C-alpha cells in the first residue's frame, strides 16, 4: 500500500484520466515533459562545464520574435550598439 492507496485505486484513476484526455494527448504531454527534463539536464551539464568569467561580448544579447497585426513575423537580434564616429564635428 502506498499511503492508504491501493494499486487498484491507482489503476482506476489512470483509466479515468485516459478516458477523459485520450492516449494521444497523454502521449504528447509525456513527450513534452520528457523533452523539458532533458533540456534542463543538458543546461545544468553545460553550466557546470562553462568556466566562470566567460565573456559573452560577441554573443547576441537577446533574440526576439515579433508578429505584427498584419501577420508578418520579424526575428530580431539585439547587439550592443557601437559608437558612431561619423557625426563628430571637426
Tally of domains in the chain: 1
More confident of the two residues 68 and 5:
5
Query: Residue 77 falls within a domain, yes or no?
Result: no
pTM, 2 dp: 0.39
What's 6's DSSP letter? -
Instruction: Identify the domain containing residue 34 by its residue range.
Output: 1-48
At 1 the pLDDT is 43
Residue 2 counted as domain residue: yes
H/E stretch holding 10 reads: helix 7-21
Residue 79 lies in a domain: no
Per-residue pLDDT, averaged over 13-39, amounts to 91
Residue 59 has pLDDT above 50, yes or no: yes
Residue 48's pLDDT is 79
- Answer yes or no: is 85 within a domain: no
Tell whether 19 is covered by a domain.
Answer: yes
3-state secondary structure of 67: strand
First CA to last CA distance, the chain: 86
Amino acid at each position: 500500500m502506498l499511503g492508504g492507496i491501493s494499486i487498484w485505486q491507482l489503476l482506476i484513476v489512470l483509466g479515468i484520466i485516459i478516458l477523459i484526455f485520450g492516449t494521444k494527448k497523454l502521449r504528447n504531454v509525456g513527450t513534452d515533459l520528457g523533452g523539458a527534463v532533458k533540456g534542463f539536464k543538458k543546461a545544468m551539464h553545460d553550466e557546470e562545464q562553462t568556466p566562470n568569467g566567460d565573456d559573452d561580448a560577441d554573443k547576441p544579447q537577446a533574440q526576439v520574435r515579433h508578429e505584427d497585426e498584419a501577420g508578418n513575423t520579424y526575428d530580431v537580434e539585439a547587439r550592443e550598439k557601437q559608437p558612431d564616429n561619423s557625426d563628430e564635428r571637426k
